[in-house]
Amino acid sequence: MNRDEAKSILLLYRPGTTDADDPQIAEALALAKRDPELARWLEEHSSRQEVLRAKFRQIAVPAGLKEQIISEQAVFLKRYGRRERIVVVAAVAVTVVSLIALTPFWLAHRRPMADNSLAGFENSMVRVALAGPYYMDLTTNDPVKIRDFLAQRQAPADYVLPAGLQKAAVTGCAIEGWQNTKATMICFRTGKPLPPGEQGDLWLFVVDRASLKDAPPPGPPKIAAVNRLITAVWTQGDKVYLLGTEGDAQAIGLFL
Amino acid sequence: MAEGVDFESLVARHYEPLYQFAFSLTRDESDACDLTQQTFCIWAAKGHQLRDVSKVKTWLFTTLHREFLGSRRRQTRFPHIELDQAAAELPVVSPAAVNRLDTAQVLEALARLDEIFRAPVALFYLQDYSYNEISEILAVPLGTVKSRLARGLERLHQLLADNAPGAQPQSLQT
């Protein structure tokens, strides 16, 4: 690195911040310690940065803005609450009348309400993955911590990752409810840039095979499009696995 | 879970930096107030979806920036500029000359930057956000953030050098 390259890099340097942790900036700072002319330039640049930071922070905030935000929110909630009460009363009335009218029909045709089918599981879990920005119960890149976290909470933790998925970067996990049992959700990154707030774009769900009435037989993964995701489903041991990401069959095939 | 976050405490903690960011983007007090208020309204409606409370601040800045872009109804895709394409020429204005400028003049210079440079530069100076955090808030890759910052700072310094009383533009290269 020469002096001019160092100056270009140090242009983004703000003293007193974590900028110095950046390896390029750290190298340029080290050069400045050995190069008096670069050191003089850096001193002036740092002073200029400090002055500019101070100028930006002098932007005056209008008096009463905080109170205005809080009071308007309270008014909104009050209005919403009054309207909501009317809606709730009307809804209850309609529901009672409907129940009375439909009870004989329901009694004659009732069947189990719980949808513990594989399709129900797929739809439910894909909705979870797409309800972004997505946040996890545990954010970590350590697969061991994820297994420990899940095991401590009695969620499926003895899962087996396919070879492709073992190479993907893990970012965390969450525990989702499924038909009175727990489903494990593990988040990975495909390597593509993530939208803000998102911490993964590749999701693996694991659930006990017994919780599904029509779990697929052990065999190669079945690829299908569910909602906006491409998914792969397979059974291994006493677990059913659902892997999902955006893209096509080739995109998900990389992780199987 | 973010459901447990008290709304008034949240407003008290974040409304000032959010307003400053909004004002640096709009340079209009009324617009900046509206943007700040709208951001908290969205929080009130959707904030409970946020599981990681440590991300609240980033979430608020991201939301404010999205609302700003939405209000501008910009449909053009922002160009990706590589860092090595950024010019190495930097007009130098002394700290003392910058100090003689007032905040309004600095913001006027900021407003003259292309919109894609304005938000990263404002976050860079206002909040001391790391490059990774700026990348997350603006939803652009880290390399693009650095290139936009390099180009934006270069242009900002150039504009300040032009405006600063008695400043003699020089080159970064020696």
Task: Tally DSSP H helices, then E strands, for chain A.
Answer: 8, 7
| A137 three-state secondary structure | coil
Greatest pairwise CA separation for chain B in angstroms: 56
Does the pLDDT value for residue A93 go beyond 60?
yes
User: Are B19 and A51 within 8 A, CB to CB?
Assistant: no
Tell whether pTM > 0.90: no
**Stretch among A12-16, A175-179, B5-9, B90-94 having the lowest mean pLDDT:** B90-94
Which CATH number is B83-163 given?
1.10.10.10
Q: What is the rounded distance in angstroms from the CA atom of residue B28 to the CA atom of residue B30?
A: 6
Q: What is the rounded distance in angstroms from the CA atom of residue A213 to the CA atom of residue A102?
A: 29
pLDDT (average), residues B29-51 = 85
Q: What is the rounded distance in angstroms from the CA atom of residue B46 to the CA atom of residue A197?
A: 13
pLDDT (average), residues B35-53 = 83
Contact residues, chain B, for A192 at CB < 8 Å: none
Cβ–Cβ under 8 Å, residues B39 and B64: yes
On the question of a common fold for B2-72 and B83-163, the answer reads no
> Where is pLDDT greater, at B2 or B12?
B12
Going from N- to C-terminal start, the domains of chain B cover 2-72, 83-163
Q: What is this model's ipTM?
A: 0.74
In CATH, which of 3.30.300.180, 3.10.20.30, 1.10.420.10, 1.10.1740.10 is domain B2-72? 1.10.1740.10
User: Are A57 and B172 within 8 A, CB to CB?
Assistant: no
Interface with A, mutate which of B14, B56, B78, B99 (most A CBs under 10 A): B99
DSSP H stretches of helix in chain A: 3-10, 23-34, 36-57, 65-109, 118-130, 143-152, 163-166, 249-253
User: Are B41 and A196 within 8 A, CB to CB?
Assistant: no
Cβ–Cβ under 8 Å, residues B19 and B122: no
